[in-house]
C-alpha cells in the first residue's frame, strides 16, 4: 500500500511504528481526532494561559512526530519552548500561522483516511 500525504514524511512515521501499516494508520487516526482540540486550545492563548498553551503545543509536537509531520513537530517544539520561557510575544508572532499550517496537515490526513481507510 502506498501512503502519500502532503506535508507528511510517511516513511519517518512508519519507522516509528516498526513499519507496521496498521499501527501507523491508527496513529494517523489519533492525529486527526486529537490535534484539532489542541489547536483550538492554542488559539485561545494569553499571557496568563502560557502554561496551558505549552501543554497543547507539546501534544501537537508529539503527535506530529508520530505521523511524520516534521515541520509541524519542529515548529510546535519552538512554540512550546517560547511558552515555557514566558515569551508571549514570540508565541503570538508565530501562533496563527502555525495553527493554519497544522490544521492543513490534519485536513490532508483526514482526506487521505477518508479516501483510503474509511471507518
- On average, the pLDDT of the chain sits at 95
User: What is the set of domains in the chain, with CATH numbers?
Assistant: 10-109 (1.20.120)
pLDDT in tens, 42-97: 998 999 999 999 999 999 999 999 999 999 999 999 999 999 999 999 999 999 99
The answer to whether 14 touches 95, Cβ cutoff 8 Å, is: no
Cα distances (angstroms) measured from residue 111 to each of 37, 58, 92, 117: 18, 24, 29, 10
- pLDDT at residue number 11: 95
Q: 86: number of CA atoms within 13 Å, CB side? A: 0
* 44 CB neighbour count, 10 Å cutoff: 10
Amino acid at each position: 500500500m502506498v501512503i502519500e500525504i502532503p506535508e507528511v514524511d510517511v516513511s519517518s512515521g512508519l519507522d516509528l511504528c516498526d513499519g507496521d501499516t496498521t499501527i501507523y494508520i491508527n496513529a494517523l487516526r489519533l492525529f486527526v481526532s486529537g490535534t484539532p482540540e489542541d489547536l483550538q486550545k492554542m488559539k485561545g492563548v494569553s499571557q496568563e494561559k502560557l502554561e496551558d498553551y505549552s501543554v497543547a503545543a507539546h501534544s501537537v509536537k508529539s503527535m506530529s512526530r508520530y505521523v511524520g509531520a516534521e515541520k509541524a513537530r519542529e515548529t510546535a517544539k519552538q512554540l512550546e519552548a517560547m511558552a515555557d520561557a514566558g515569551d508571549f510575544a514570540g508565541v503570538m508572532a508565530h501562533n496563527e500561522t502555525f495553527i493554519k499550517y497544522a490544521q492543513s496537515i490534519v485536513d490532508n490526513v483526514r482526506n487521505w483516511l477518508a479516501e483510503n481507510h474509511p471507518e
